[in-house]
Amino acid sequence: MALDWSVDVHDGIATVRPVGEIDYTGTEILRKGLNDAADRDGVRQIVVDMSDVSFVDSSALGLLVGAKRVAESRGIAFRLSAPRPGVTRILQLTNLFDHLVKPSIED
């Protein structure tokens, strides 16, 4: 399944919504969405809504870790939200769950 994405910004929170599988072929597509979110004026947090992502591979994990590092270097908080059980399991097995999925700054 080809990856698609959208970005919505509200009250300084950019929500990136990828849809599909994030594998080697989809990472460059998602990178565009993440860059778009980070480049919007007034963004102070990026939330990647993973509820419509059915699969992630190691290239996707690398992209997400790198995106978090870049966002935070720019003073922008970064987190994933609502990962499906299969994606959650991969994040847990790689010890990335606590690093990438955490409460929002509003919580």
From first to last of its 107 residues, the chain has per-residue pLDDT tens of 679 999 999 999 999 999 999 999 999 999 999 999 999 999 999 999 999 999 999 999 999 999 999 999 999 999 999 999 999 999 999 999 999 997 544 44
pTM for the full predicted model: 0.92
Domains present along the chain, CATH in parentheses: 4-100 (3.30.750.24)
User: SS3 of 19, please?
Assistant: strand
Burial class (CB within 10 angstroms; exposed 0-12, middle 13-18, buried 19+) of 62: exposed
Distance of CA 72 to CAs 4, 23, 34, 69, 89, Å? 24, 24, 13, 5, 25
